[in-house]
Amino acid sequence: AQERAWRELCPDPSSLIGRTSVAVQDADADRLARRRDDVVAQVQEHYYAQPPRIERGWRHHLIDVDGRAYLDMVNNVAILGHGEPRLAHAVDAQMRRLNTNSRFHYGAIVELSERLASLAPDGLDTVMLVNSGSEAVDLALRIVRAVTGREDVLALTEAYHGWTIGADAVSTSLGDNPRALDTRPSWVHLLDAPNTYRGTHRGDDAHLYLPDALDRIAALDDAGVSLAGFIAEPLFGNGGGIALPDGYLAGVWAAIRARGGLCISDEVQVSYGRLGRHFWGFEQQGAVPDVITVAKAMGNGHPLGAVITSREVADAFAVEGSFFSSAGGSPVSCVVGTAVLDILESDGLQDNARVVGERLANGLRALAGAHPALGAVHGMGLYLGVEVVAGGPDAPDSAGAREICDALLDQGVIVQPTGDHKNVLKIKPPMTIDDAAVDRFLAALDRVLTWREARRA
């Protein structure tokens, strides 16, 4: 009833962006938000000077405790947007019927697993369900190590794969952990990220990253290191969606496999059609991994993740290892996972990511042409990153990115900085976003950049 009353008061949250509506203010939520700081340990740094105190959401809008609406331009999980009633209905029905741990047999787990297997490339038809991306990555690492009987794993620099002990070991992003490169366990070996914007090989030289990688793998051979596997994102998530050089993954994966190792594609950020033209991130590299890790979008915010691999690898793991997750793949999680895929397909959100994403990228490129604070626009579909630079790639401007994010927040738009230098504006809205919202965002960014330039003049 409260929800209905709120919708009647505020049928169009976009009309509230940047304004406060006293009518939808929620005094209880305000009191809770004040108590939050006393009891909730937030280890991760905040992105904003004044983090918004969000209370509810509707599609690609969020509303804070004062009833102020924001355009949600960066949401890693809610691909369907917020407050999706079909998802709420699926959860409600399954929760009333059955929720239990996954030691039992029930239909929901079969339906979701079949659906994922049908979306994965041929041969990758076995699914293990967990609760998060970090768990999926930890499980994938355990699988490649158990199946090959080897310990060592190759990972890229500038990458983030999660917080659990295994995922953290292969996470190298200095933006998330400035000490990341000093604290690697001895079984983790690093390959320089093929960052074509800021790394050693740029522009036409990008193809040189592949021979460098093959040299690095050969050097590990010479040092007597037998790799169990290689983990990478198929698109640079941490860098704001920088594309890997053409043929890079195919070449590195072939070299790893030639030595008996297995290749993990971490699809936690880039899958589920967000790239527009492809459902999986690895498709745009034209290569097929041995193991896929996926989470985030899978549950639209409900904790859900998976490892997808071949029957052969899964069977070998069953002999050499063990795996059980109490709530991973619970009946409620599974109906959420299936409903997310149903809605994604029935609402044509992958096509929306392609079409609206193009409008967004073109608009951002036009702004980058007009405002010197913006450098390259990376990414594809609704997975974009905009460099904030003080002159060029070698002058990443993290203070500038922060200032722009704070000023956008003031304008009722949520964007966050990412990357090793925290200078890339990460733009990853719910896949429900439409032309009108994109235009509103571009106008707000234009205003903020013009205001900064006027202030400096």
From 231, 242, 268, 306, residue interacting with ligand PLP (rule: CB under 6 A): 268
Closest CA to 305 of 281, 325, 276: 325
- 89-128 footprint of ligand PLP as x/- string (CB under 6 A): ----------------------------------------
Tell me the closest approach of the beta carbon of residue 267 to ligand PLP, in angstroms: 8
Structure tokens that stand for 372 in this block = 């010197």
Residue placing its CB nearer to ligand PLP in the complex, 83 or 281: 281
For 222-320, strand residue ranges (E) read: 227-232, 235-236, 242-243, 262-266, 291-294, 305-309
Residue placing its CB nearer to ligand PLP in the complex, 94 or 269: 269
Three-state DSSP class for 325? coil
Closest CA to 232 of 187, 309, 285: 285
Q: Please choose, out of 33-41, 59-67, 81-89, 263-271, the segment that lies near ligand PLP by the rule CB under 6 A.
A: 263-271
Q: Please choose, out of 21-29, 133-141, 221-229, 384-392, the segment that lies near ligand PLP by the rule CB under 6 A.
A: 133-141
Residues across the chain: 457
Under rule CB under 6 A, residue 132 binds ligand PLP? yes
The answer to whether 405 touches 47, Cβ cutoff 8 Å, is: yes
Residue placing its CB nearer to ligand PLP in the complex, 172 or 411: 172
Strand partners, 126: 309
Taking CA 193 as the corner, what is the angle to CA 192 and CA 199, rounded to the nearest 5 degrees? 90
Tell me the closest approach of the beta carbon of residue 240 to ligand PLP, in angstroms: 12
Distance CA 290, CA 46 (A): 36
- 279-298 footprint of ligand PLP as x/- string (CB under 6 A): ----------------xx--
Distance CA 175, CA 353 (A): 27
Under rule CB under 6 A, residue 300 binds ligand PLP? no
Q: Please choose, out of 191-199, 264-272, 403-411, 443-451, the segment that lies near ligand PLP by the rule CB under 6 A.
A: 264-272
Write the burial class of residue 1 (CB in 10 Å: 0-12 exposed, 13-18 middle, 19+ buried).
exposed
Under rule CB under 6 A, residue 266 binds ligand PLP? yes
Tell me the closest approach of the beta carbon of residue 233 to ligand PLP, in angstroms: 5
The answer to whether 389 touches 423, Cβ cutoff 8 Å, is: yes
Under rule CB under 6 A, residue 161 binds ligand PLP? yes
The answer to whether 373 touches 387, Cβ cutoff 8 Å, is: no
Distance CA 77, CA 111 (A): 22
Under rule CB under 6 A, residue 418 binds ligand PLP? no
Residue placing its CB nearer to ligand PLP in the complex, 160 or 272: 160
From 67, 194, 229, 237, residue interacting with ligand PLP (rule: CB under 6 A): 237
Tell me the closest approach of the beta carbon of residue 95 to ligand PLP, in angstroms: 22
Residue placing its CB nearer to ligand PLP in the complex, 301 or 357: 301
From 134, 157, 300, 333, residue interacting with ligand PLP (rule: CB under 6 A): 134
From 71, 116, 128, 137, residue interacting with ligand PLP (rule: CB under 6 A): 137
Under rule CB under 6 A, residue 199 binds ligand PLP? no
From 133, 331, 396, 430, residue interacting with ligand PLP (rule: CB under 6 A): 133
Residue placing its CB nearer to ligand PLP in the complex, 338 or 418: 418
14, 236, 291, 299, 345 from 84: Cα distances, Å: 16, 29, 31, 12, 14
Under rule CB under 6 A, residue 269 binds ligand PLP? yes
Give the helix/strand (H/E) hosting 129.
strand 126-130
Query: Restricting to residues 40-59, which ones interact with ligand PLP according to CB under 6 A?
Result: none
Under rule CB under 6 A, residue 233 binds ligand PLP? yes
Under rule CB under 6 A, residue 160 binds ligand PLP? yes
Which of 70-103 are b and which e, b meaning 16 or more Cβ less than 10 Å from the residue's Cβ? bbbbbbbbbbbbbbbeebeebbeebeeeebeebe
Under rule CB under 6 A, residue 428 binds ligand PLP? no
Which of 405-439 are b and which e, b meaning 16 or more Cβ less than 10 Å from the residue's Cβ? bebbbebbbbbbbbbbbbbbbbbbbbbbbeeebbe
Residue placing its CB nearer to ligand PLP in the complex, 26 or 233: 233
Distance CA 100, CA 329 (A): 9
Strand partners, 380: 383
Binding site for ligand PLP (CB under 6 A): 132-134, 137, 160-162, 233, 237, 266, 268-269, 295-296
